[in-house]
Structure 1
């Protein structure tokens, strides 16, 4: 009888041990992301219908961006799509052209942003989550587009990553750009609208590249 009980106990121990190992395997983080910190900014070339126009107008291959957060051992990108939401990082990367991405960080925060900065960004993010994507690239807070989201989150954290521009500052001569502007605005293009582009963030002298692939 004792032998039977001993075997049962041993069997249960092994079973529990294996289940624990399985759980650990499931949440094991991708070593590719080990250098990332909360608040890092990630860029990609979007495959959306407006991506080409953004690239032509801003003279940059990068047309989409978001902010990385780590929650419960998993990485997410807080981004302005439809609607503003957080997306698992691996899914976000796979959605871009050739799964290529670049991650940047503040020069003044090589070991990551301060705790209060992350808190401010996440609090501001709560107000933006669920809002519609802004197809018209307006500067108001009722709707949000990707680079506007990143800029405003960092503004709340005490860092203005780049100067804002006006729509007229971009190259609007390309046919793809003209077509997209006509679709959005008709003949009433708001040339003096305050805007910030993914390219302006990417080229900010306040940021350095952490990793790219």
Structure 2
């Protein structure tokens, strides 16, 4: 075998080895994530960064990397995220993950979930959630049930179904409203009548709740 062919052979073997290594590593990572997802439970709360101008404004206004959240419910052996988009609906977890930036997400769980979120409480949470199903997404972030936004849905399901307030509500004026993009969104929504005293809850408030612990984080 000539020196040239030896070099070519070694090069090909190196490429094949690298491909096998990457494939094995990727498979291992996917297996690990799949195993973790199988441990998700009813009532877990999931967070991600969505890709839209409004979501970017939410991130800026709340000084957080998270702009969207939902609550995990398991039905007939399948894992769903109950979320307030347009409209409020159940979304398969696998599909929900793909809607986020880089397929990254964080899952949190109530600290004493095993004791508090028994079957009866979970059923109450699901039943209350059903009353909000198919509601339109609330672009005005009003604290009513006429329309619903993502963190409002999660907060109210916990409050009404489990009698737990995940965090305190804040007034709109307490957020960072001075950024140009945030101002643009507010102007589009409200004109000159921004409801600064409206009580709201943001994904950032829930994700930082001292009542929750982190179950999964691939950020």
User: Structure 1 length normalisation: TM-score?
Assistant: 0.84
Question: Is the contact made by 1:65 and 1:198 (CA closer than 8 Å) also made in structure 2?
Answer: yes
Question: Is the contact made by 2:36 and 2:216 (CA closer than 8 Å) also made in structure 1?
Answer: no
Residue 140 of structure 2 is matched in structure 1 by 136
Tell me the secondary structure at the aligned position of residue 208 of structure 1.
strand
Structure 2 CA distance for aligned equivalents of residues 38 and 192 of structure 1: 34
Tell me the secondary structure at the aligned position of residue 138 of structure 1.
coil
Tell me the secondary structure at the aligned position of residue 128 of structure 1.
coil
Tell me the secondary structure at the aligned position of residue 122 of structure 1.
helix
1:116-167 superposed Cα distances (whole Å, 9 cap, x missing partner): 2211111111110000000000001010000000000000111100000000
| Match status 1:72 vs 2:76 | yes
1:185 is matched with which residue: 181, 190, 212? 190
How many residues are paired up? 185
Residue 3 of structure 1 is matched in structure 2 by none
Residue 46 of structure 2 is matched in structure 1 by 42
Structure 1 CA distance for aligned equivalents of residues 117 and 215 of structure 2: 13
* Shift in Å, 1:110: 4.8
Question: Is the contact made by 1:39 and 1:112 (CA closer than 8 Å) also made in structure 2?
Answer: no
* Shift in Å, 1:111: 7.0
Residue 6 of structure 1 is matched in structure 2 by none
1:59 is matched with which residue: 48, 58, 63? 63
Residue 202 of structure 1 is matched in structure 2 by 207
Residue 15 of structure 1 is matched in structure 2 by none
* Shift in Å, 1:68: 0.4
Structure 2 CA distance for aligned equivalents of residues 108 and 71 of structure 1: 22
Structure 1 CA distance for aligned equivalents of residues 146 and 133 of structure 2: 11
Report 1:32-181 matches (<5 A): 32-110=36-114, 113-156=117-160, 157-181=162-186
Question: Is the contact made by 1:43 and 1:103 (CA closer than 8 Å) also made in structure 2?
Answer: yes
Question: Is the contact made by 1:43 and 1:65 (CA closer than 8 Å) also made in structure 2?
Answer: yes
User: Structure 2 length normalisation: TM-score?
Assistant: 0.82
